[in-house]
Structure 1
Amino acid sequence: MRQLTGVISDRGSKYAVSGGPADSREAVAAFLKVLKKDKKFAKATHNSWAVLLADGTPLKGDDGESGAGMVILRMLEREGLADHVIVVTRWYGGKHLGGDRFRHVQDCVHAYLADLPG
């Protein structure tokens, strides 16, 4: 599991991004279970995620951050990265971010992809 914490902080909200191999819905569930063993991630407001399976099947979850899973999924499709789940975690800081929240999700995924080896 790769994690980048403290990627973005805006108006009290904090973002982190995590990811790792996942080739099925069960693998995603197992990944999220491991991630949430860390109390910090279990208590996060949102753990939005997406994965593009090798057969082309898209899977995503917004976890209450409406539209965030689709943002991650589109980026995975553009990157051509299959069987790899990316989770963007947000701790809500008390102020609504409006459309900026989607830019923050994109920035987290960009940071994660830039940090991948190879």
Structure 2
Amino acid sequence: MPLSPPRRYLTLASPAAAEIEAKRSRFVCDLSPAASEDEARAFVEQVRSGSRDARHHCTAFVLGPDGATQRSNDDGEPSGTAGAPMLDVLRGRGLTDVVAVVTRWFGGTLLGTGGLIRAYGDAVAAAVDEATILTMELREGLTVSVAAADGPRVENALRGHDGCVVTDTEWSATGLLLRVSVVPGHQDAVAGVVAALTSGAATVAPGAPTWTECAV
């Protein structure tokens, strides 16, 4: 039986970074949100271009609400000692739509396989600790069409309504179109608020489901 798609996932609000040291080798982890593989690879190249004097730029990323796309790269470190432990940290923290780059400057002392695994994992964990984490929730979509005179009042009411987020507004000569994301099961309550404010003159129709930031 196929698994149901996730309705929530964790990601980053913005880029974050941290640095650790192990036997005089420096490990700097840069993290960033990434909505696609192209965005992830562009961030990797951005970090690489800013520190080309470093010996290694090891990477890991997880993409998609279900974390289905996962990639890692050891960038010259012994196989399995860099990208894999980095990926393990991202997965262990439940993060997706995120890319990590750990840049290493060699300090002159070999760390060994175990030392490298710990250092690369610890660098990513330190950066995640510095990051602001967002919870994204899949919500139902509604489109609300109201006359121009009712538009501001309806918009203000929906922005203040629990479990409802106005994601887009579009004014025209005839009125206001609002695109709204709603916690599943709250659609009728939102439609009732709109009807009460417009004496039933507004139109409320289903819209596309959207991923929306929500409070935990």
TM-score (norm 1): 0.86
Distance 2:127 2:17 in 1: 8
SS of 1:36's partner is helix
* Cα distance between partner residues in 1 of 2:73 and 2:37: 11
Give unmatched runs, 5+ long, in structure 1: none
The structure with more strand, counted as a fraction of residues: 2
Give the CA deviation at 1:35: 1.2
The answer on whether the counterparts of 2:72 and 2:83 sit within 8 Å (CA) in structure 1 is yes
Residues 22 and 83 in structure 1, CA contact (< 8 A), matched pair in contact too: yes
Out of 35, 42, 56, the residue aligned to residue 30 of structure 1 is: 42
Please report how far the alpha carbon of residue 8 of structure 1 lies from its aligned counterpart in structure 2 after TM superposition. Answer: 2.2
Shift of 1:94: 2.1
Given that residues 25 and 59 in structure 1 are in contact (C-alpha distance below 8 angstroms), is that contact kept between their aligned partners in structure 2?
A: no
Per the alignment, residue 46 of structure 1 pairs with 56
Correspondence list, 1:8-87, <5 A = 8-38=20-50, 41-54=51-64, 55=66, 56-65=68-77, 66-67=79-80, 68-87=82-101
Task: Deviation per CA, 1:11-55: give whole Å up to 9, x if none.
Answer: 3311111010123322122102211232xx222111111111114
Residue among 17, 24, 34 paired with 1:3: 17
SS of the equivalent of 1:31 reads helix
1:41-99 deviations in Å (ceiling 9; x for gaps): 22211111111111411111111123211111111111110010011111112221001
Selected match of 2:125 from 101, 110, 116: 110
User: How far off is 1:9 after superposition?
Assistant: 2.2
In 1, are the aligned partners of 2:16 and 2:128 still within 8 Å (CA)?
A: no
Identify the structure with the greater helix proportion: 1
CA separation in 2, counterparts of 1:64 and 1:43? 15
Q: Radius of gyration: which is bigger?
A: 2
* Count of aligned pairs: 114
Indicate if the aligned counterparts of 2:60 and 2:84 stay in contact, CA closer than 8 A. yes
Q: Which amino acid aligns with 2:55?
A: T
**How much has 1:106 moved relative to structure 2?**
1.5
TM-score, normalising length: structure 2? 0.49
Partner residue in 1 for 2:102: 88
Percent of matched pairs sharing the same residue: 36
Secondary structure of the corresponding residue to residue 57 of structure 2: strand
Conservation of the 8 A alpha-carbon contact between 1:22 and 1:85:
yes
